[in-house]
Amino acid sequence: MPSSGRSKLITRDRFDAVLFDLDGVLTDTAQIHASSWKRMFDEFLQRRAVARREEFHPFEIATDYKLHVDGKPRYDGVRDFLHARGIDLPEGAPEDGPDAETVCGLGNRKNDLVNAAIAAGEVVTYPGSVALVRRLRDEGIKCAVVTSSQNRAAVLEAAAISDLFDVAVDGNTIIELGLAGKPAPDSFLQAAKALGIPPKRAVVVEDALSGVEAGANGRFGLVIGVARHGDAEELKRRGAHVVVADLAELVDGS
């Protein structure tokens, strides 16, 4: 479908709101998360391999990141990856220090690495995504950001786009309300509820496989997958109605 046709996918007569994932959709921070996951897990796996005199098998961004942690709440990502490797660690508590070898400790270590990258000014936006948000707002369509990240406020502030969203649901909201993480649709449904809009009148925009599944599971009116990593077909298999390489394809005149 040409760009001119795709720019008409989200119109005011069909939809009242668009719910955007953050990392990899609005901001180019997915790489920050991926590299932070890899550094944290590789350090842990290396220590474990040495202590057990086993071969070290590193965390692979191309497979492990996409399959086990991308788009999920932090501790869920830790737990799912460890399970995939047959590793059982104590759950620990959210207050665990970043050196604790618990699910929460490892998750907190990863979070520290992400925060350091944000503070270092590594957050940038995707111009096409920001242009789309501004176009939608001009047309009276509400916009929300829905992310499993607990760093949402810092990322939006660093990217200078905090004022573009009517509602935000993030990792902190998920914990506070006891919501299930993606691929469950809870976080997207919460954003739609906060906006007062039924799912069939809302659009979900995601780049993560788990996020696309969440949109499909919530029976939203339109689920758009953003294939930044050559995974268009897999996004479709997981439930995306439409897949684009960049959200600039949905902006008039692109």
The CATH number of residue 203's host domain is: 3.40.50.1000
Domain boundary among 119, 139, 157: 119
Are 20 and 57 in the same domain?
A: no
- Look at residue 59 in the predicted model and tell me its pLDDT: 98
Domain of 108, in residue numbers: 31-119
Cis amide prior to 94 (ω within 30 degrees): no
In tens, the pLDDT along 14-67 reads 999 999 999 999 998 878 989 999 999 999 999 999 999 999 999 999 999 989
Are 75 and 198 in the same domain?
A: no
Domain boundary among 86, 119, 152: 119
Active site residue 23: yes
SS3 39: helix
Q: What are phi and psi of 192, to 5 degrees?
A: -60, -40
- Look at residue 31 in the predicted model and tell me its pLDDT: 85
Are 176 and 107 in the same domain?
A: no
Are 159 and 218 in the same domain?
A: yes
Domain boundary among 101, 119, 137: 119
pLDDT over 90 percentage in the chain: 87
Are 188 and 238 in the same domain?
A: yes
Are 150 and 82 in the same domain?
A: no
Choose between 135 and 4: higher pLDDT: 135
Nearest of 121, 142, 136 to residue 247 by alpha carbon: 136
CB contact set of 246 (below 8 Å; sequence gap of 6+)? 126, 128, 129, 226, 228
Are 25 and 36 in the same domain?
A: no
Are 20 and 55 in the same domain?
A: no
pLDDT bin (cut points 50, 70, 90) of residue 254 is very low
Are 12 and 53 in the same domain?
A: no
pTM of the model as a whole: 0.80
Catalytic residue of the set 13, 16, 23, 76: 23
Catalytic residue of the set 16, 21, 64, 231: 21
Are 141 and 213 in the same domain?
A: yes
